[in-house]
Amino acid sequence: MNYVGNVIRPPSEANAIILQVTVGCSYNKCTFCGAYKEIGFQLKAQDTIDADLEFAKQHCRNQKRVFLADGDVLILSQRRLLQLFNKIRTHLPWITRISMYGNAKAVRNKSITELKELKSMGLDRVYMGLESGCDKVLQYVKKGETASTMTAAGKKIRESGIFLSVTTLLGLGGVSLSSQHATDTAGVLNKMAPNQIAALTLIPLENTELGEDVAAGKFILPTPSGILQELHLLISHLKDVKCQFHANHASSYLPLAGRLPRDQNAFLASIEMALNGATPLVPDYRRAL
């Protein structure tokens, strides 16, 4: 496969065929993200994509899913996406699921009819980075969205019948906005009603604006116990959300995984045990992005 730069995919797509269609992120202004700072957004040459499909046809017959990289393939026109999906169906007829990242702007650019059309062609899952439901936090990290625009995008994905996986980022509000970040994020998730919630924990990167703020003392990251209190607050404010819940990313201090609302009380009890010192936390040297 012909990969360019750092190809990033969700943990749940580890066993998927990673087909890189675009390079970079169409927005690429978030102050906490260092994934694509060194490269501009671009569509890969069709000959290269076709060659990768041919490679997958020959060598990836045991893999039943395709994940379309990089940061935001959904931003492409409907015509290009339908052409791509047709090629996937032609070259890889055994594929049962196509997934991709999609930011709120890309979702807004698609109608419900267009999203349903993509679903009929195999699009099963969209991963959307909410990060925070707090407008102050979203503005500070230059997300380019508000709680209301993110909510609308999430609802549109759900209305189209596509599986919605939403990522939140613990610690993104710093110490000063920690509580509001947690409760407001839970409020947006309650409105979106996603199929899956993934709670990651902020790890500041040197090549980001937020990382520079941390180094300069302008942004104070919550302590590990502060992160756990934030996670407790987030989970406790999730109401009537029926979904998979994962806080077991490599960045997490306390891995949790299960379903809501079934495991909500168990999650809260586990966090309380960790806060009381009864459960050891993942040390910083073992945490990663």
**Residue 264, number of CB atoms within 10 A of its CB:** 17
Q: pLDDT value at position 191?
A: 98
pLDDT tens per residue across span 19-29: 999 999 989 99
Residue 165 sits in a domain whose CATH number is: 3.20.20.70
Residue 2 lies in a domain: no
Q: How far apart are CA 242 and CA 17, in angstroms?
A: 29
Q: pLDDT value at position 93?
A: 97
pLDDT tens per residue across span 176-190: 999 999 999 999 999
Contact between 243 and 260 under an 8 Å Cβ cutoff? The reply is yes
pTM above threshold 0.75: yes
Residue 176 lies in a domain: yes
Show the domain range for 234: 11-286
Q: How far apart are CA 192 and CA 224, in angstroms?
A: 28
pLDDT tens per residue across span 42-56: 999 999 999 999 999
Average pLDDT over residues 63-86: 95
Select from 288, 249, 250, 247 the least CA-distant residue to 271: 247
Helix (H, G, I), strand (E, B) or coil at 268: helix
pLDDT tens per residue across span 266-278: 999 999 999 999 9
Residue 4 lies in a domain: no
- Provide the pairing of β-strand 22-23 with 42-43: antiparallel
> For residue 36, what pLDDT band results from cuts at 50, 70 and 90?
confident
Residue 6 lies in a domain: no
Q: How far apart are CA 88 and CA 84, in angstroms?
A: 6
Residue 79 lies in a domain: yes
Average pLDDT of the chain? Answer: 96
The continuous run of DSSP H or E covering 42 comes out as strand 42-43
Residue 194 lies in a domain: yes
Residue 205 lies in a domain: yes
Residue 3 lies in a domain: no
Number of domains the chain contains: 1
